[in-house]
Amino acid sequence: MASYLRVMRKLHVLLVDHDLDCLISTTKKLELCSYKVTYVELASTALSLLSSGQPHFDLVMVNINSPDMQGYKLLQHAVNVDIPVIVMSIDDNAFLAMGALKKGALLFIKKPVTMDMLKCLWQHVVRDKMRIQKENDRIMGMAATNNHSKSGVEFRGEVEEENNIIVGNNNYKGKKKKRARKSLINGVDEECESEPQLINNKVKRKECIQWTQLLHRKFMDAVEQLGEGRCFPKEILELMDVPGLTRMQVSSHLQKFRNDNWRAPEERKSKQNNAPAASTDTNTSGQSKPRRFGSMPCLKKRRETHEDSEVHTENDEMPNDGYESITIEPIIMNSNQQYHEQLVSGPNNSRHGANSSSNPRFPYDDFFNFPENIDCLFHNFSGMQQGFGIGMNMNESSDPEQNSPLPSVKTRSQWSSETSNFASNSSETRGLEIE
DNA sequence: GGACCTATCT
DNA sequence: GAGATAGGTC
């Protein structure tokens, strides 16, 4: 028992309850259990205490019905800074409890709080700390421990749990479970850059990258180099050679691009501020172009559209191989800040600006530190005029898109079916170059 | 089982 | 509406 007390004494609890009687009595009980207690009436007060970072708290206990309506905000903040939160309420309400747990609460307890409950609190805190430590270890040692963890020893419990699910449901074919299991076993996701982080057993949605004009240009360059019929996410990703960028992200962008659903940040901004910008959904006659499922927008058209919206420089007149040296950095957006803190003024203003602190860095941000001069990224560009010959239709066509000297981006199946007549001599459908 | 693709979600 | 994710298909 003495050893328990030693642990309990070390725990600093921030108690938040607008019900003064409860506040006082719970404080007394906590102190009787040897916890160090700081108590405040309002969640907003607690929030500013937590925000200041001083003093450090090991546990927050909050009456979620705080009259200043900041109870959930406090919960969210504490969860974000990895402080376990115990939510209290006078109501015995399952929805309330579920809501709190979904937001990351460690426990939901109905008031009044008893001594027995409080005596056990330290165990929850310790367990939570261990979980966080484990997560951190896993992230830090991801690469190093990859081989070890494949043995399944490190996450045995979870693996067994997953195995039980699989054994119990042999018909399950979904990839969500498979991926989750794989990440538990390996400690990494399918692509380590896109590892979903588990926060309080919730899969935290990965921070968004922003496809800036410059990043998109790299994408386009890759597409152009690959040519028609070879524009697959993996190939594009490899050609782009952007550290930290994942195949899924490329795939997602490719989808948006193919469906003509992507607009450069600059274009979005101008569209918001001004009259409707020239939409790529309309043809020259101003008619809305019916969306052909799987149809690919013409690259030339896209290039023109996007370059029109670019901030032009004195190098605008330069030929293709005259791209100025630029630094491309994907802008990482916190999902909450997404679309609200668009760093549309370009990468140089993004995370290096005075307000960079308002845009927390994505854990893998360092992957995105590019060399100042990335001329090398365009090393193939000067030879691209010839490269464009790959897979393009040089003949005039009744379809305006077909008149582009640039290849269009087609799906594998689309391209495959279109070229099947020509490719009858070859069983290979992927990577086939059309002369 | 990896990669692609599309629908759906956030 | 952009980008991430789920899930079906090859």
pLDDT (tens digit per residue) in A85-142? 999 988 887 878 888 888 888 888 888 888 888 888 888 888 877 777 666 665 555 4
- Residue A48: the pLDDT is 84
Give, as ranges, the nucleotides of chain C with any atom within 7 Å of a protein CB. Answer: 1-10
Q: Is the CB of A156 under 7 A from strand B?
A: no
Burial A185-203 (b: 16+ CB within 10 A, else e): bbbbbbebbbbeebebeee
Smallest Cα–C1' distance to nucleotide B6: which residue has it? Answer: A255
Q: Is the CB of A340 under 7 A from strand B?
A: no
Is residue A294 a contact partner of residue A409, using CB atoms and an 8 Å limit? no
Neighbouring C-beta atoms of residue A52, cutoff 10 Å: 8
At residue A198's C-alpha, the angle toward residues A119 and A91, to 5°, is 45
Smallest Cα–C1' distance to nucleotide C7: which residue has it? Answer: A174
Checking each nucleotide's C1' against the CA of A203, the nearest proves to be: C5
Q: Is the CB of A179 under 7 A from strand C?
A: yes
Separation in Å, CA A426 to CA A226, A359, A409, A410, A429: 20, 51, 22, 20, 8
Q: Is the CB of A262 under 7 A from strand C?
A: yes
Neighbouring C-beta atoms of residue A343, cutoff 10 Å: 21
- Residue A409: the pLDDT is 53
d(CA A396, CA A165): 58
CB neighbour list of residue A331: distance below 8 Å, 6 or more residues apart? A209, A210, A212, A343, A347, A350, A351
Terminal alpha carbon distance of chain A: 81
- Residue A256: the pLDDT is 85
Q: Is the CB of A255 under 7 A from strand B?
A: yes
- Residue A216: the pLDDT is 87
d(CA A299, CA A308): 14
Q: Is the CB of A388 under 7 A from strand B?
A: no
**Percent residues over pLDDT 70 in chain A:** 43
Q: Is the CB of A80 under 7 A from strand B?
A: no
For chain A residues 323-362, those near strand C by a CB cutoff of 7 A are 338-339
For chain A residues 275-304, those near strand B by a CB cutoff of 7 A are 293-294
**A293 CA to B7 C1' distance (Å):** 12
Within chain A, which residues score under 70 in pLDDT? 1-3, 133-207, 228, 269-435
d(CA A432, CA A419): 9
d(CA A79, CA A128): 11
Checking each nucleotide's C1' against the CA of A263, the nearest proves to be: C2
CB neighbour list of residue A251: distance below 8 Å, 6 or more residues apart? A233
For chain A residues 170-189, those near strand B by a CB cutoff of 7 A are 175
Q: Is the CB of A196 under 7 A from strand B?
A: no
d(CA A184, CA A175): 14
Separation in Å, CA A239 to CA A1, A223, A301: 62, 9, 22
Is residue A55 a contact partner of residue A30, using CB atoms and an 8 Å limit? no
Coil, strand or helix at A195: coil
Regarding pTM above 0.85, the answer is no
Q: DSSP letter at A385? A: H
- Residue A86: the pLDDT is 92
Is residue A431 a contact partner of residue A268, using CB atoms and an 8 Å limit? no
CA dihedral A27, A31, A34, A40 (to 10 degrees): 40
Checking each nucleotide's C1' against the CA of A208, the nearest proves to be: C3
d(CA A187, CA A338): 28
Smallest Cα–C1' distance to nucleotide C2: which residue has it? Answer: A262
